[in-house]
Each structure stands twice: as structure tokens, then as C-alpha cells.
Amino acid sequence: MRKVLIVIAIILIGAAILSVYFGFRAWRALKPVIGTPPDDIVKVIEEYEPPAPGKEPAPFPLNLPKGFSISLFAKNLVGPRVMKWAPGGWLVVSEMGAGNVTALRDIDGDGLAETHKSVIRGLDRPHGVTFYEDFIYVAVPTGVWRYKFNPENAKVPVDSTGSSQGEKILDLPNGDGHFTRTIEFGAKDSTKETKIPELYVSIGSSCNVCREQDEERATIMVSDPDGKNARVFAKGLRNTVFFTIHPITGEFWGADMGRDWLGDNLPPDEINILKAPVPSTGLRVNNYGWPICYGKNIHDTNFDPAPSRSGSYGASKNTCDTFEPSFIDIPAHSAPLGLAFFPEEGWPEEYWFDLLVAFHGSWNRSVPTGYKVVRYDFDKDGKTLLGVQDFLTGFLSQGGALGRPVDILIQPGGTILISDDKAGAIYRVIYREDS
């Protein structure tokens, strides 16, 4: 009996030790996401004073390349995500945590938006925002709405109860799993001089890894501006939350998040060039691999143990060979979100057409990664990657996170705006050649 009790005690002690170990690992991974920040980055930025000439600068947590400085453009926001410049000079941002779409304006030109005006309230996790003609388009988990937008006062029509009057133009799959929906207008055919606008919508998967029953999940959809003629533009994209248009090629570039639970270093997150298939392939849409392939067409044998075959491409070929490989692999669990290209106007030539990507940061890696903005240095055609450098770092501190960058807007003339949904702020990064 005594031996049995000893065995039971050893088992219980071992279980307790394992629970503490894995609990510590889980907390270390989640702390930057859900833990209290080690400091208030908004106050740190507000209170920071540049050093006098010849003096050493005071300690400051955030790091930027030489010539760049950071300040606040807006604060006291609740989960700010997508930013768009609106007619009338407003910066419109989706406050996903508050259910609002808000317009901001820096009236006195001091770099801080002192005017905050609600455009639309009471939405279910609004994310994507864009403009076309005299409409503001807003994407929520289950659809896309559009509202008449008044650029003079940043208002939309309301009914007698004060509710915003809009039109739902597109039904989307429910909000299970990945629920953020991002929208953008692009041309039907970027090679033609006549740019016929179409509305592109990102729809993430309903799961970490699975075979979707709904063909609209894990895709980019495209439709007419009124929501008609909706169809899949690209598929096999687990969660391409953000995408943008290359200023030279006109192609969409999207940041896609890889699946979880393959360890700290697999699979890579991705930057993909999203495009229509080459006619000779006979494909209706390009497939970017998820759920059975990732990165440079690597087979996910954890999910799909048996080699997958594609009869249309010959029984000897693995299905991964028929998919579009990633253009750039990003370290696993970085959670890439906003991405933006530098224009020529007002920027040094070394930055022209380079790409900035916001790494929102990991939630399930034993050692947290991401929580920064990274620069991808390209040639002017965007075809050759010349290098990768950290651009904005310092958000990870003492095992916690001061902030989590989300969206990026790069303006002509040397100004960058970056939203942060953890700090509830929008940062203003300025380049001055003589600094």
C-alpha cells in the first residue's frame, strides 16, 4: 500500500511540476498580448524631450533609423485598426474595440489630431474602411456596408432615432474564427489604361487548420462597387488581414498569417503577390496553399499526412507544386498586418518603393516575437529583395508589450502614420534629412 501511495505522490508532484512549467510558458507567450504594459507608451512619448545640442539623449524605448522621429498623432482610441484618408482631409480609423468608425483631424497643424468625431457608432467589430465616389465603405464580420459620406463634417445620414442609414451591399461568411474583414478598391485589369474599380474583401479561415466547407473562407473576394458579381479572386489564404497595391505593378500584395501549433518556428508567415492565374494553367483562381501547404510550397504533413495528389496535373505531382508559393517568408508567429510602400515624393531614393510591414506580435510562441515594424528593401520594380531591416522596435519590454502596431500609412513628404490597438494610439513618424 505504501508503495502505491509513493507512486501516486510522485505522479501528482510530476503533474504539478508540468502544470507550472507549461503554465509559465503559456503566460510568457500571452503576457505581451493580454498583460498590463510595463509602461504607458503614450505618456512616454508625450513627456519625452529631445536633447539639447551636444547633450546625450534621455533613455527612450522606441528605436528608429537615423533621420526619423516619432510623436503622437492621436490617443484615447479603443482598438484602432484600419486607417484611410477621407475626402475633406479627415483621417478615418476603425475603432474595432469600441464598435465605431472615427474621423480625426489636425486642425492647427501641430501634428496631433485634436478633433475626434464619430462617423458611425454601434457596429460589430468594424475593421475595413475605404472610400469610393461619395460613399464610405465599412466591413464588419458578416458583411460590407456603405454610407453616404459628407466630407465637410465627416457625417453620414441618420434616421429619426439617430441610427446611421447605410446599405448592406455584400453578405460575408459569419464571424467564426478569423473575423476581421479588410476592403480596398483596385482595378479590374491593372495593365489597361482605363481603371475600372472593383471592391476586394479579405475573408480569413474559420479555423486554425481545416478543410473549409464554405468556399468563401480563406480567400480574397472581389465584386462590383455595389456588391454585385461577387466571386473569389484568390484562395488558400489562411488569414490575409491586410493587403495593398504596389505603386509600379498595380498588383495586390497581401500579408498572410500561418497556422499555429507546429512549434515556435513553423510555418512561416507570408507576403504573397495576389494575382489572376496565367490563362494557360486553366485555373479559375490562384491557390496559395493553405491548409495543406505553406511558404515555398512546403507540404504540411501534420495536417495532411498522405501526399496529396492532383489528377489534373498528373498523379506524380504533389498538389503543392500547383499552388502559388509565398513571395517572402516571415518568421513564424510574427502576425504581419498592415503593409505599405514608400512613394518617391519627399523620401530619399534609398526608400523608394520599399515595403514596411507591421508585425502585430505572437501570442503562442515560447519566446515572443514580432511587436515591431520591418522594412523590406526592394529594387524599384519590386522584383528583387535587397535586404530586410528592423524599422521601428522597442515595443517588447520586460516580457510585456508597450504596444502592438497594426496599420501603416506612408504619405508623400516624409510622414508615416502607424496605428496601435494595444496602446489605443496612432503614431506619427517623421523623416528629416538633417536630423
The domain segmentation of the chain, as residue ranges, is 36-431
Res. 196 pLDDT band, cuts 50 70 90: confident
pLDDT of 55 reads 73
Q: How confident is the model at residue 380 (pLDDT cuts 50, 70, 90)?
A: confident
Q: What is the model's pLDDT at position 278?
A: 79
**pLDDT grade for 308, boundaries at 50, 70 and 90:** low
The least confident of 5-14, 335-344, 399-408 is 5-14
Closest CA to 182 of 127, 103, 112: 127
Q: What pLDDT is recorded for position 311?
A: 38
Least confident range from 121-130, 182-191, 203-212: namely 182-191
Q: Render pLDDT for 22-60 as a digit per residue (tens, 0 to 9).
A: 444 555 678 899 889 999 999 999 999 877 677 777 789
CATH superfamily entry for domain 36-431:
TolB, C-terminal domain (2.120.10.30)
Most confident of the ranges 46-50, 198-202, 281-285: 198-202
Residue range 141-195, pLDDT digits in tens = 999 999 999 999 999 999 999 899 999 999 999 878 999 999 999 976 544 455 6
Which set of grid coordinates corresponds to residue 423? 496602446
Q: What is the pLDDT of residue 176?
A: 87
pLDDT of residue 17: 54
Distance from CA of residue 185 to its chain's centroid? Answer: 17
pLDDT recorded at residue 277 = 85
Q: What is the mean pLDDT of residues 203-232?
A: 97
Kindly state the average pLDDT of the residues 274-301: 90
Lowest mean pLDDT among 258-272, 304-318, 404-418: 304-318
Q: What confidence score (pLDDT) does residue 312 get?
A: 38
